[in-house]
Amino acid sequence: MGLSDYIIMRELNFPDINRFERYCQVGGWEAYRTAVKEQTPATIVQMVKEAGLRGRGGAGFPTGIKWSFLPKDVFPRYLLCNCDESEPGTFNNHQIIDRNPHQLIEGVALSAYAIECHTAYIYMRGEFAAAALTLEQAIDEAYRAGLLGKNILGTGYDLDIYVHRGAGAYICGEETALMESLEGKIGQPRLKPPFPAVAGLYGKPTIINNVETLANVPRIVEKGVAWYRSHGTEKSPGTKCFSLSGHVNRPGNYELPFGVPLRELIESPEYGGGMKGSRPIKIIIPGGASAPWLTAKHLDVPLDYEGVAAAGSMLGSGAVIVLNDTVKAPHVAYKMDEFFKHESCGKCTPCREGTHWLVKVLHRLAEEGHAEPDDIPTLHGIYRQMAGNCFCLLGESAVMPIKSALELFPEEFEAIIKASNERHQRNGAHAIPLRVS
Amino acid sequence: MADVTITVNGVTFRVPAGTNVVDAARIGGISIPVFCYHPRMKPVGMCRMCLVQVGTPRLDPATRQPMLGEDGRPVIAMMPKLQTGCTTPVSEGMVINTESDEVQFAQKGVLEFLLTSHPLDCPVCDKGGECPLQNLTMAWGPGNSRFDYNDKVHFEKPVHLGDLILLDRERCILCARCVRFQDELADDPVLGFDNRGRNWMIISKSDPPFDSKFSGNTTDICPVGALTSADFRFKARVWELSSKPVVCTLCPVGCNLSLDMRYDQLMRVMPRENGAVNDIWICDKGRFGHRFIEHESRLTTPLIRKGGHLVEASWDEALALVAEKLAAVQSSRGGSAIAGLASPRLSNEDLYLFQKLFREYFGSHNLDHMPGSAADVDYDEHGALMGVGKGTNLMEMGAESLVLVIGADPEEEAPLYVLRLRAMLERGAKLVVANMRPTKLDRSATTRLYYQPGSELAFVRGLLRAVFDRVGHERLHLKHSGLEQLRKTLSDLSVEQAAELCGVPAETIRAVAQALLEAKQGLIMYGAEARSAGAGMSESLGVLAALTGKVGKPGSGLIALLPGGNSRGALDMGVRPDARPGYAVLSQRGLGAREVWPALREGRVKAVWIAGLDPAAQLPAARAALEAADFVVVQELFLTATAKLADVVLPAASVAEREGTYTNAERRVQRSRQARQAHGEARPDWQIIQGVAQHLSELSVPVAVPTQRVEESSQPVGGKGKSKGPGKTTAVTVAEPSTWDYLTPSEIAAEIAERVPGYAGITYSALAATGQGGDWGRQTNEAIFYDGTNYENSEGIGIQLPNLIEGQKTAVSLGLRPLSKPAHERSLLLVSQSLAYDGDLLLRGSLLERQIPQPYVALSQTDADKLNIKPGDTVRLDSAAGELTLSARVVDDVPAGVALIPANLPNFSAAAVQTGPRTRVNLVKVVTG
Amino acid sequence: MLLETHREAIETIVGRYASPRSAVLPLLYLAQDVYGHLSNAAIREVADILALPETAVFEVVGFYTLFYSRPVGTWMLQVCDDVPCCYLGAEELITALKDSLQIKEEETSADGMFTLQRVKCLAACDRAPVLQANLDYVYDVTPDKVEALLKDLQSRAADARRRGVSGRFAEDFAVTEQGAVELVARDAPYQSRQFEVQGPPPPPEPLPPPEVESGQDRAETRRGSPL
Ligand SMILES: Cc1cc2nc3c(=O)[nH]c(=O)nc-3n(C[C@H](O)[C@H](O)[C@H](O)COP(=O)(O)O)c2cc1C
Ligand code: SF4
Ligand code: FES
């Protein structure tokens, strides 16, 4: 099943699509011009609601509904575009911006108009310096064309869009941490409530959406709700840019309608092109590092929010990492949790200490092959002490890799313990070196 | 706020709506363990120790009413995840479970996690024995840890966050209490975190480091031994300490302290909870500035001058000599040849007896509690007459109240007020800060304004006029006299004219007046800089309070920040030449300190008795006078410059070695207890005074008490004109002095209560009685909030005196003295800035001594440019009185037209140039070859 | 002093936000670009410009990984070792770099040219193994490409020095004939791995002149700083 009429990645192969003129040639900025001149903000919100657009940042929360949480008559408001994309396996925002910046800017502008806000910030992870430049250039072009700035197209509507670069912290993708970071503080999540829609950036009502989410908006406005809903499924309408990576022949971003089976993404010659060297699939992580793992037996799971959830995982950011049988589950868990440990902000105890301890044990076990007899109950204990008790979802996510690994591949842990035990017995009591740190 | 009903662990009770679950459970006597939560700070939900199960009644979507189950009780929808109690407000019908398996698993889990990075070095940790981590681990934690001990973090230790506070990083559990205290409460955001995740750690990068007058409090609220004070580190185990309730005499706030003693040694100073005074905080001066009590240079025995040298003597010898000499002067020259100066750090009992001795035995009114410098300010009366109304509690004030801080820098003069004012602000109070120069409190102010240097009186007159214009005749039925005169005085100066004079826009003046009028409760706090404008200032502020209806009721009135711990007591007790205790003005006044020095030189006064003051250190005139005096008695802690000139030196007990009561700026009388044995042979001041009295009456030559007629009047103190007021004149004959046999200070206090207007009922038994009841703070030893640190207050919260208008039905004259034109013969106004860390000899031996600045004069950039002065230049100040050479600083927060010098530095005196409380100087650069 | 050399840029940056504190990150980037790394003095300078408590700015420097409070090489080589990179050659790449540069992770080569660091996912997983040389992405860096890469980076740095530009990210600047320092435009949009494309893209038509309506120039927000 191919898709000719892309929503996000449209005309991505069109040369110089990142230039304003090219983008306009394929109908770009039209939706925005029409909206600002002819449509009320409420109309746009209504369209987005009816289109059933769901947030692509991970939670899949309906965007139109989120927008309608804004308290009436409280101004100024802010729109924040979340481009802190840092979750292992996730890389579609990066590409959308680098290759088709105008679609995002148009989306931001349209959404800002819809929620009646006059200042929007695009928060980019610090590493995306080149992409930030690309975006700045595109924003400059839009200003020069009178699409941004004061009194846009003579309608009296003002809008400024600024690019703000983070400086290396995954947690700043969490919406409240992002606001803290944007306020010039360390990026640690805030207590909720109050929710951002009520009191966000600078204490003002704020909407935060993912890059891909906002990039959908121009298409919805341009082509209409019915057209949009003709893609994807009833509950997950539209398309999704799946970031496919790992041991597949053709890793990359593939925009496919929601509901496409996992198998097609991985195996279709147009997309994943099957596994490298035709090795068997061992682990599929369908939604970025925070998603519980699936295995080869889940290949028929449809890739939409409900389908993946039913399989016991989550679609999350739509990053599909496929690993073959050369990897060891404890090691994958170790690498994943090393990520979470590295990115834990330190604010709450379970995440700060739990990720650290998990990595300590997993490192010893998976990298060094030294295991203690009760490592398995210890690992279970640690993640259970974290699960549900952390301040934000980062800590909760860190539970997933180790939990999945223990659930799906307990024998690999047992094997390491057994081997270590045997070595231990062979070599006498001090086989496990006492590490003095 | 309306109450809601909640059920915790099956027990149902009512709590105020909006309370968080931790506090609410506590009301029901149920403990939820916490680390990061602190009831004085906003909850942050970081440590996750307080996780509990929470459920709320399921509401019928149609009716919004709780749905009822089969048993007829509301169906409770439990939240899927555990919730942090500290961040969850209670709501009607909420069900909370703090004991279920899930909760216990989570609590154990959090504690196990915390202990993974904690070094468990309890045997060498100062917090051991009062450590919340220790205690909570015992109560809620796992029996053992599965974490590999070799994986613990280790850091270089300890880290000096400053002179006073040390950090043992590896013990820190990252609760951010210290950071939040500094940010939210102290407004010294000098602590922060470096790195992130498990490498997250406390840092301070301010310059100078950990620069805060409140830093010590962080060691109390740190729930582990991460923050310790340089003063207590490795000194003692807390269980060896016994806490002695003492009142701090280092500033007019009168914080409640515990002196934690091991046997007879002071180990540390801790706050004692008193919501009405210091809450659970103290400033660093109180905490670290009590090392003087054990300083090796304390006097231990009486000294008598023999052959030009001070030699040790027995008490009997010394007291007899004093009595004999004074009696001799008295009989030959009369009482007026004897003068007495007593320090405002002495207790009420001391001060009362001191003046009583002078008045009864010698018939002398030559009394004062100031050193007699040209810069001494007028006696502050309105701070008592119109002092805060009885029942004022800053802890409870918030919305609808306004505080006007004028001519004051509370952070330096009375540090703890900063915390209290900021807490009021947090609760919604308004804070207007008016000064001639910026102070740190400005950052907290809701309105801040600067008047031209020296124009505060014009500003206040402007306020008065604006108020008067607004209220017109409405308040004419005020019982105070002088309204006509007031109207006349005020009509001389329009708001616009006042604005012109003080440089504050007329509309701002009107807005402040309006805000003060509108506020339900209003306090006016004024300090040294305001008082240096003369008595007209406090008088005008008093009238402002009266006209805006801010006197004689709770939450309203004046707060005067006076130097020392008990200036108010000294004034109340009448240690002044012109009034008896209770502000009863004498028609025939004695000599004040300023007049005593010339009188000594000229031989009109022959003998002087100085208790706890050191004028010789600061005042060349005093030194010369003392050298010329026939007989000098000094009663002191140390051999001060003054003591060195004495004929008899009597070693006095420090505040820690005796009992006594002290009256703070809000006129709250508080009782301080003895914490240690007398130092050497030192005796409490009251005993020394009584000893002299006893010797006097034992003298074989009976004291010739002159029978003199003393004109006394109860005429309004504030009113100057003698003609006004009903002023009943009574002929008083000084009776044969009684023989004194007070056994304890409580007997003196009882007499004070009987005789001193306003002090009725303030007896030791009454002061002790307030200690029960427990209507303040937490329950004793409760293990939740400040667990570990013991702030227990068994001594009571003191008793607030009524202001004299309330208590006595005293009428005050509203008449104002005319506004005098400031003289401008020299270009700069010399302002002495009161500093918390100055040459006060009580700071002797403390870690704070290092923070006392070197003398300097600070100028604005404008003036520096004009005079071609660079920072560090040597400059010469000259005034009508003389010259002074200093090194110059050029700083942003000094306004043009002001030369700012720190007041009261050791080994430095500005007396050479001072012509009065306000001196005008010229300044030139000294060019050295 | 940044305020003297970059006043306009600083004012523009601060002007983007409702609270000046928001400008901390951009100003720290600026200071880092100018000084090479964030020394204590540089951090205090930023605090001073924004009138913030010094500790608050130190906190920020400590929290974010792209701020370097210690001297680092001209090129910061940040190799992603996260899943999936680690299973697609990241470890081999790191070993190759270590061998070539004769340094360990977190160390700087003797010539001060390269600092090697492991980092977490760089969001280019389809082009694994990936590294960032300063902020430039380098894709598909298999160990055999290491030597060439290092040479190229070295020559870029040498080139920058020849142009008289110093400091970190020097290679991003050029000196104009008038002697002003200017940003070198970089245009390296992220390309996913190219597979044989199905049919050529439609030939671009000649561009119509852009429709300019009330066009306005935006204040230059990037001057003086790569970003
Ligand atoms: C630890 C953490 C990291 C996150 N990182 C990102 C991110 O990089 N990009 C993103 O769009 N959303 C991220 N999110 C989700 C955001 O908090 C937020 O839900 C999202 O930006 C909302 O946008 P949407 O409604 O368009 O999905 C993250 C959430 C958490 C808890
Ligand atoms: S030092 Fe103490 S108060 Fe500060 S964060 Fe650490 S544990 Fe908490
Ligand atoms: S999270 Fe509630 S006390 Fe720390």
In a domain, A3, yes or no: no
Q: Which residue of B has its CA nearest to A382?
A: B109
DSSP state of C144: G
The pair phi, psi for residue B751, each rounded to 5°, is -70, -40
Q: How would DSSP label each residue in B500-537?
A: HHH-S-HHHHHHHHHHHHH-SEEEEEE-HHHHTT-HHH
Q: Ligand 3 atom 1: the closest Cα is on which residue?
A: B45
CATH ID of C1-72+160-196, from 3.40.50.720, 3.40.50.2300, 1.10.10.1590, 3.30.413.10: 1.10.10.1590
Q: Indicate whether B511 pLDDT > 90.
A: yes
Same domain, B171 and B276: yes
Q: How confident is the model at residue B106 (pLDDT cuts 50, 70, 90)?
A: very high
Half-sphere exposure of A67 toward its Cβ, with a 13 Å CA cutoff?
Answer: 31
Please say which residue of A229, A259, A278 terminates a domain.
Answer: A229
Same domain, B365 and B412: no
Nearest to A85 by CA among A169, A189, A184: A169
Number of domains in chain A: 3
In sequence order, what are the residues at sequence separation of 6 or more whose Cβ sits closer than 8 angstroms to the Cβ of residue B332?
none
Asked if the Cβ–Cβ distance from C58 to B205 is below 8 Å, we say: yes
Note the pLDDT tens digit of each residue in B72-98. Answer: 889 999 999 999 999 999 999 999 999
Mutation site, C86, C218, C222, C225, interface A, largest A CB count within 10 A: C218
Asked if the Cβ–Cβ distance from A89 to C124 is below 8 Å, we say: no
Q: Indicate whether B724 pLDDT > 50.
A: no
Which ligand places an atom closest to the C-alpha of A187? 1
Mutation site, C55, C60, C66, interface B, largest B CB count within 10 A: C55
User: Could you list the residue range(s) of the whole structural domain that residue A295 is in?
Assistant: 239-324
Return the pLDDT at A323: 97
Nearest to B791 by CA among B803, B806, B779, B773: B779
Q: Which residue of C has its CA nearest to A160?
A: C16
Nearest to B253 by CA among B522, B527, B440: B527
Same domain, A179 and A261: no
End-to-end CA distance of chain B: 73
Same domain, B575 and B509: no
Of C64, C125, C195, the CB nearest to A91: C125
Note the pLDDT tens digit of each residue in B826-847. Answer: 999 999 999 999 988 899 999 9
Look at strands B648-651 and B631-636 and give their pairing: parallel
Structure tokens at B683: 């005796």
Return the pLDDT at B791: 81
Asked if the Cβ–Cβ distance from A184 to C188 is below 8 Å, we say: no
* Cβ–Cβ < 8 Å for A158, A150: yes
Q: How far is CA B200 from the centre of its chain?
A: 37
Note the pLDDT tens digit of each residue in A325-347. Answer: 999 999 999 999 999 999 999 99
Return the pLDDT at B784: 52
Same domain, B617 and B722: yes
Residue found under tokens 């090489």: C73
Return the pLDDT at B757: 87
Beta bridge partners of C75: C114
Residue A57 Cα: closest atom of ligand 1: 27
Return the pLDDT at B730: 39
Q: What does the alpha-carbon distance between residue B258 and residue B244 come to, in Å, rounded to a whole number?
A: 5
Half-sphere exposure of B537 toward its Cβ, with a 13 Å CA cutoff?
Answer: 25
In a domain, A109, yes or no: yes
C83 and chain A: CB distance < 8 Å anywhere?
A: yes
Return the pLDDT at B767: 87
Asked if the Cβ–Cβ distance from A251 to C126 is below 8 Å, we say: yes
**Average pLDDT of B431-454?**
96
Note the pLDDT tens digit of each residue in B321-357. Answer: 999 999 999 999 999 999 999 999 999 999 999 999 9
* Cβ–Cβ < 8 Å for B859, B890: yes
Q: Which amino acid appears at position B251 of this protein? A: C
Q: What does the alpha-carbon distance between residue B380 and residue A361 come to, in Å, rounded to a whole number?
A: 70
Please say which residue of A324, A342, A375 terminates a domain.
Answer: A324
Same domain, A70 and A128: yes
Asked if the Cβ–Cβ distance from C84 to A169 is below 8 Å, we say: no
Q: How confident is the model at residue B768 (pLDDT cuts 50, 70, 90)?
A: confident
**Average pLDDT of B423-450?**
96
Fold category of C75-156 in CATH: Glutaredoxin (3.40.30)
CA distance C124 to chain A (A): 6
Region of poorest pLDDT, from B566-580, B620-634, C61-75, C156-170: C156-170
In sequence order, what are the residues at sequence separation of 6 or more whose Cβ sits closer than 8 angstroms to the Cβ of residue B119?
B152, B153, B154, B170, B171
Check which CATH number belongs to the domain holding A144 and give it. Answer: 3.40.50.11540
Q: Which amino acid appears at position B696 of this protein? A: L
Same domain, B624 and B731: yes
Check which CATH number belongs to the domain holding B833 and give it. Answer: 2.40.40.20
CB-CB neighbors (< 8 A) of A169 in chain B: 196
Of C86, C124, C208, the CB nearest to A91: C124
* Cβ–Cβ < 8 Å for A216, A374: no
The answer for A 162-201 residues in CB contact with B (under 8 A) is 169, 186, 191
Note the pLDDT tens digit of each residue in A205-243. Answer: 999 999 999 999 999 999 999 999 999 999 999 999 999
Note the pLDDT tens digit of each residue in B669-715. Answer: 999 999 999 999 999 999 999 999 999 988 754 444 444 444 444 44
In a domain, A433, yes or no: no
Return the pLDDT at B366: 97
**Average pLDDT of B298-315?**
96
Composition of chain C by helix, strand, coil, percent to 5: 40, 10, 50
Q: How confident is the model at residue B806 (pLDDT cuts 50, 70, 90)?
A: low
In a domain, B501, yes or no: yes
The answer for A 58-117 residues in CB contact with B (under 8 A) is none
* Cβ–Cβ < 8 Å for B187, B415: no
Region of poorest pLDDT, from A4-13, B25-34, B887-896: A4-13
Same domain, B283 and B162: yes
Region of poorest pLDDT, from B126-130, B691-695, B747-751, B882-886: B126-130
Check which CATH number belongs to the domain holding B27 and give it. Answer: 3.10.20.740
* Cβ–Cβ < 8 Å for B486, B816: yes
3-state DSSP assignment of residue B11:
strand
A287 lines ligand 1 (CB under 6 A): no
Return the pLDDT at B920: 94
Return the pLDDT at C178: 55
B503 lines ligand 3 (CB under 6 A): no
Q: What does the alpha-carbon distance between residue B680 and residue B137 come to, in Å, rounded to a whole number?
A: 45
Pocket test for ligand 3, best of B23, B32, B34 (most atoms within 8 A of CB): B34
Same domain, B850 and B863: yes
- List of chains touching C (3+ CB pairs within 8 A): A, B
Check which CATH number belongs to the domain holding B538 and give it. Answer: 3.40.228.10
Same domain, A161 and A146: yes
Pocket test for ligand 3, best of B21, B31, B48, B88 (most atoms within 8 A of CB): B48
Same domain, B262 and B373: no
Return the pLDDT at C192: 53
For residues B902, B663, B212, B841, the Cα torsion angle rounded to the nearest 10 degrees is: 50
Same domain, B489 and B530: yes
Other residues' Cβ atoms within 10 Å of the Cβ of residue B416: 26
**Average pLDDT of B220-249?**
93
Residue found under tokens 């398309």: A239
Nearest to A241 by CA among A390, A99, A417: A99
Structure tokens at B659: 């009992």
Going from N- to C-terminal start, the domains of chain C cover: 1-72+160-196, 75-156
Order of all β-strands in the sheet with B660-663: B660-663, B668-672, B799-800
The burial class, CB within 10 Å (0-12 / 13-18 / 19+), for A223 is middle
* Strand ranges for B115-241 from DSSP E: 159-160, 165-167, 191-194, 201-204, 227-229
Asked if the Cβ–Cβ distance from B204 to C55 is below 8 Å, we say: yes
Residue B35 Cα: closest atom of ligand 2: 8
pTM, entire model: 0.93
Region of poorest pLDDT, from A150-159, B482-491, B699-708: B699-708
Return the pLDDT at B31: 87
User: Could you list the residue range(s) of the whole structural domain that residue B579 is in?
Assistant: 303-378+566-742
Between B929 and B258, name the one with better pLDDT: B258
Q: Indicate whether A434 pLDDT > 70.
A: no
Q: What does the alpha-carbon distance between residue C120 and residue A398 come to, in Å, rounded to a whole number?
A: 14
Please say which residue of B264, B294, B324 terminates a domain.
Answer: B294
B37 lines ligand 3 (CB under 6 A): yes
* Cβ–Cβ < 8 Å for B161, B210: yes
The pair phi, psi for residue B449, each rounded to 5°, is -150, 150
Q: How far is CA A79 from the centre of its chain?
A: 18
Please say which residue of A296, A324, A352 terminates a domain.
Answer: A324
Q: Indicate whether C106 pLDDT > 70.
A: yes
Q: How confident is the model at residue B777 (pLDDT cuts 50, 70, 90)?
A: very low
Return the pLDDT at B506: 97
Asked if the Cβ–Cβ distance from C123 to A148 is below 8 Å, we say: no
Same domain, A354 and A290: no
Q: What does the alpha-carbon distance between residue B429 and residue B397 come to, in Å, rounded to a whole number?
A: 7
For residues B411, B416, B422, B426, the Cα torsion angle rounded to the nearest 10 degrees is: 170
Look at strands B828-833 and B883-890 and give their pairing: unpaired
Same domain, B541 and B590: no
Distance A406 CA to ligand 2 centre (A): 35
End-to-end CA distance of chain A: 55
Check which CATH number belongs to the domain holding A385 and give it. Answer: 1.20.1440.230
Note the pLDDT tens digit of each residue in A286-337. Answer: 999 999 999 999 999 999 999 999 999 999 999 999 999 999 999 999 999 9
* Cβ–Cβ < 8 Å for B730, B556: no
* Cβ–Cβ < 8 Å for B906, B839: yes
In a domain, B71, yes or no: yes
In a domain, A4, yes or no: no
Return the pLDDT at C80: 97
In a domain, A1, yes or no: no
Q: Indicate whether B216 pLDDT > 50.
A: yes
Provide the mean pLDDT of chain B.
Answer: 89
Q: Indicate whether C220 pLDDT > 80.
A: no
Q: What does the alpha-carbon distance between residue C110 and residue C114 come to, in Å, rounded to a whole number?
A: 8
* Cβ–Cβ < 8 Å for C184, C173: yes
In a domain, A202, yes or no: yes
Same domain, B665 and B738: yes
**ipTM for the complex?**
0.92
* Cβ–Cβ < 8 Å for B78, B53: yes
A108 lines ligand 1 (CB under 6 A): no
Same domain, A216 and A244: no
Note the pLDDT tens digit of each residue in B141-186. Answer: 887 778 877 777 778 779 999 999 999 999 999 999 999 999 999 9
CB-CB neighbors (< 8 A) of C124 in chain A: 91, 94
Number of domains in chain B: 5
Return the pLDDT at C221: 37
Structure tokens at A14: 């069109």
**Average pLDDT of C105-122?**
94
Q: How confident is the model at residue B736 (pLDDT cuts 50, 70, 90)?
A: low
Q: Indicate whether B499 pLDDT > 90.
A: yes
Same domain, B574 and B709: yes
